[in-house]
């Protein structure tokens, strides 16, 4: 997996492919390559940065009006030029780029080898090229469809053939692809950001779609030849929204954008005089939500931690019991689904493979499904019964920042909406609404002067292990803080419920194992202070996150990061913004690239 771009038109494909791959760099990759069809198909592949690919392409005459490109994040086979995409068949007629995993590739490969096919890579993708070659009789579309009937697994793939020129064939199963056609030609990509400079109008392929794309048109069908109509979507953001705008990294830019992204997540959705939230995406299912007896939240990674925060919010405001599950585990549980249960699926990209698979399993049970996604037109947005968009704008940094805080804000709005449907009073609703409206300015206070956070980050950057601990709303915040640090600095850290520390993990504490403790002005403040004392009694170092009204924490430790004082239910957002900054400054001090952490990809579209 990682990034795909393709072009067919009147112009030379090479510049379009290279620019598209550059715009997909934020997703993470370890190698890249392009194949361009002119009189012959020329292909160049390189390990490392796109710049190396550009240098090598400049030495070759890659000219033609059709081409495909790929940036790879290794799944099958090591990081080598041979394993980089595109892959080709024995005759160098069929060229393929692919995101996903071919689960039965060994079986297919063994059969093809017996028929005389010779493989040059260790990847699962190469079998696709050879399998299409096996079926190819001059019609690329037909050969691709026959191959897809045999392939098991996930794919977003684009194929070109020297012996059937003038077209690309694209197919999707659990891995996103989007098409755009304009006066420059036709484009296909795994992410709109690769091609949005050419047009904001996109057609998102759905699972089972096979598209034949020519220079000025496309036709979508399935492998049984049934024609499919897909709605064109106009995106509401520009490529400029994803540029650094003077910031050294996308991550710090996106941290700084959070007052705006939080505002956008709430815009037009808070009805202050009613102490409630108006969520257009939920209007058609209001009655079902009023009658729901249980909510299950399904997500992965950062979105899962937002989901845990949502559990506290929904239960506190509405009294509806909430269960939160990791999508990767939920898929393999024998889940007992209750009558009148509602499922919420959270994903920044709307394409997270495990979350999407869990959604498709739940849909078989005839229950209400909701989505919280940031990407318009994404699979989860289309396949859920209803949902709420984050409106956080494009997030380029691999480690999520504004997507997490916007997810928590959306969950807060849903909690307020559900609460006002039930027992939350008008005055209580107004208090919640006013607090949410104040959140952008509270985040701005943190961002206005982060010198305190930067100083602590510099002091602790050389430690090899960390604990992040909290209680209640502080617990999911500690999980997200720990994840940010390990993602972009490669320092080992653990997020832990503070009350559980003494049930084993406190054995790890010594002067070389610092703890970040969330000690905010709330119902568990005294309990958190006791946890800090326990750690200090074992010679542990402690960084305390505290509200400005708790000056006495200076007696606990010299390392204190102060937050604006605010109601407890918004504390996860404020704490996590601090943790984002702390992790960013540690990463930069250690010489890491916070935008492109090793081994990670932005959108996880494989299991």
For tokens 């997810």, the residue is 407
| Maximum pairwise Cα distance, the chain | 79
43 is catalytic: no
**How many CA atoms, within 13 angstroms, populate the side-chain half-sphere of residue 37?**
25
Tokens representing 73 are 């994040």
Angle at which helix 105-114 crosses helix 126-135, to 10 degrees, equals 50
Question: Catalytic annotation on 300?
Answer: no
- Residue 12 is encoded by which pair of tokens? 């030379």
Which residue is catalytic, options 2, 300, 519, 578?
A: 2
CA distance 572 to 472: 10
Instruction: Report yes or no: 389 and 557 within 8 Å, Cβ to Cβ.
Output: no
72 closest CA partner among 85, 63, 62, 59: 85
Secondary structure (3-state) at 52 = helix
Residue with tokens 């897909």: 230
Which of 469, 462, 530, 461 is CA-nearest to residue 494? Answer: 469
* Strands 66-72 and 31-37, sheet pairing: antiparallel
DSSP β-bridge partners for residue 368: 342
Question: In angstroms, rounded to a whole number, what is the distance separating the alpha carbons of residues 35 and 37?
Answer: 7
Q: Which candidate, 116, 123, 172, places its Cα nearest to that of 144?
A: 172
3-state secondary structure of 273: helix
Instruction: Return all residues near 186 (Cβ < 8 A) that are at least 6 apart.
Output: 7, 8, 9, 168, 179, 180, 213, 214, 215, 216, 217, 218
DSSP states along 295-356 = EEEEE-HHHHHHHHHHHHHHHHHH---EEEEEHHHHTTS---PPTTEEEEEEESSS--HHHH
CA 446, CA 455: separation in Å to the nearest integer? 14
Catalytic residue selected from 45, 215, 596, 602: 602
Who contacts 421 (Cβ-Cβ below 8 Å, separation ≥6)? 286, 289, 290, 318
Q: What positions carry a catalytic annotation?
A: 2, 602
């Amino acid at each position: 997996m990682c990034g795909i771009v393709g072009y067919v038109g009147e112009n030379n494909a090479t510049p379009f492919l290279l620019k598209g791959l550059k715009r997909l760099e934020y997703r993470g990759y370890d190698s890249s390559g392009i194949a361009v069809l002119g009189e012959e198909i020329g292909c160049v592949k390189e390990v490392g940065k796109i710049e190396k690919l550009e240098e090598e392409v400049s030495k070759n005459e890659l000219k033609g009006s059709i081409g495909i490109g790929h940036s790879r994040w290794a799944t099958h086979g090591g990081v080598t030029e041979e394993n980089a995409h595109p892959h080709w068949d024995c005759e160098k007629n069929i060229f393929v780029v692919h995101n996903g995993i071919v689960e039965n590739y060994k079986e297919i490969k063994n059969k093809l080898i017996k028929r005389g096919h010779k493989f040059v890579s260790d990847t699962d993708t190469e079998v696709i090229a050879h399998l299409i070659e096996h079926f190819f009789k001059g019609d690329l579309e037909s050969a691709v469809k026959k191959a897809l009937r045999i392939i098991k697994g996930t794919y977003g793939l684009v194929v070109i053939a020297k012996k059937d020129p003038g077209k690309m064939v694209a197919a999707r199963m659990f891995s996103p692809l989007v098409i755009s056609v304009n006066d420059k030609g036709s484009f296909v990509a795994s992410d709109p950001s690769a091609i949005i400079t050419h047009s904001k109008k996109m057609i998102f392929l759905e699972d089972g779609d096979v598209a034949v794309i020519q220079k000025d048109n496309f036709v979508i069908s399935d492998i049984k030849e049934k024609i499919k109509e897909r709605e064109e979507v106009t995106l509401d953001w520009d490529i400029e929204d994803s540029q650094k705008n003077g910031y050294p990294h996308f991550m710090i830019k996106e941290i700084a954008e959070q007052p705006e992204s939080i505002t956008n997540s709430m815009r037009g959705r808070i009805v202050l005089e009613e102490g409630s939230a108006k969520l257009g995406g939920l209007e058609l299912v209001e009655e079902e939500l009023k009658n729901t007896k249980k909510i299950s939240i399904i997500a992965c990674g950062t979105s899962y931690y937002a989901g845990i925060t949502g559990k506290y919010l929904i239960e506190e405001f509405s009294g509806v019991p909430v269960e939160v599950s990791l999508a990767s585990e939920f898929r393999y549980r024998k889940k007992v689904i209750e009558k009148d249960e509602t499922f919420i699926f959270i994903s920044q990209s709307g394409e997270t493979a495990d979350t999407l698979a869990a959604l498709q399993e739940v849909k078989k049970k005839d229950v209400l499904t909701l989505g919280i996604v940031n990407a318009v037109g994404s699979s989860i947005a289309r396949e859920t019964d209803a949902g709420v968009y984050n409106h956080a704008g494009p997030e380029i940094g691999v480690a999520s920042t504004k997507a997490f805080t916007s997810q928590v804000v959306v969950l807060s709005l849903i909690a307020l909406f559900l609460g006002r449907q039930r027992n939350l009073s008008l005055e209580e609703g107004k208090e919640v609404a006013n607090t949410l409206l104040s959140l952008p300015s509270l985040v701005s206070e943190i961002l206005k002067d982060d010198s305190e956070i930067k100083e602590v980050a510099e002091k602790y950057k050389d430690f090899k292990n960390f604990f992040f601990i909290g209680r209640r709303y502080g617990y999911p915040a500690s999980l997200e803080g720990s994840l940010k640090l390990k993602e972009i600095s490669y320092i080992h850290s653990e997020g832990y419920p503070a009350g559980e520390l003494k049930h084993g993990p406190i054995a790890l504490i010594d002067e070389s194992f610092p703890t970040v403790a969330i000690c905010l002005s709330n119902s568990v403040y005294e309990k958190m202070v006791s946890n800090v004392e326990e750690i200090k009694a074992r010679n542990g170092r402690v960084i305390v996150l505290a509200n400005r009204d708790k000056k006495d924490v200076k007696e606990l430790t010299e390392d204190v990061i102060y937050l604006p004082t605010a109601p407890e239910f918004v504390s996860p957002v404020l704490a996590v913004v601090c943790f984002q900054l702390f992790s960013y400054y540690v990463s930069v001090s250690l010489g890491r690239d916070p935008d492109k952490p090793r081994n990670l990809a932005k959108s996880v579209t494989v299991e």
